[in-house]
Amino acid sequence: MPVFLETISPDFEAAFQALLTAKREDSPDVDAVVAQIIEDVRSRGDAAVIELTAKFDRLELTPDTLAFSKSEIADAVATVTTQDRVALELAADRIRAYHEKQMPEDREWADDAGATLGWRWSAVSAAGLYVPGGLASYPSSVLMNAIPAKVAGVSRLAIAVPTPDGQVNPLVLLAAKLSGVDEIYRIGGAQAIAALAYGTETIPPVDKITGPGNAYVAAAKRRVFGKVGIDMIAGPSEILVIADKDNDSDWIALDLLSQAEHDESAQSILITDDAAFGRSVAQAVEKRLETLQRRVIAGASWRDYGAVITVRNLDEAAMLSNRIAPEHLELCVADPAGLCDKTIHAGAIFLGQYTPEAIGDYVGGPNHVLPTARSARFSSGLSVMDFLKRTTLSRMTPQALRIIGPAAAKLAQSESLEAHGLSVQARLDRLND
DSSP codes, 176-231: HHHHT--EEE---HHHHHHHHHH--SSS---SEEE----HHHHHHHHHHBTTBEE-
Write down the catalytic residue from 99, 262, 328, 368: 328
DSSP codes, 400-419: HHHHHHHHHHHHHHHTT-HH
List Cβ neighbours of 119 (8 Å cut-off, separation of 6 or more): 106, 107, 390, 391, 392, 393
Judge whether 324 and 311 are in contact, CB under 8 Å.
Answer: no
Name residue 51's amino acid.
E
User: Distance between terminal CA atoms of the chain?
Assistant: 83
Q: Alpha-carbon distance 125 to 333, whole Å?
A: 44
Q: Alpha-carbon distance 100 to 77, whole Å?
A: 26
Q: Alpha-carbon distance 269 to 281, whole Å?
A: 11
Name residue 194's amino acid.
A
Residue 368 annotated to the active site: no
CA–CA distances in Å: residue 310 to residues 9, 196, 214, 303: 10, 47, 34, 18
Write down the catalytic residue from 327, 330, 357, 368: 327
Known catalytic residues? 327-328
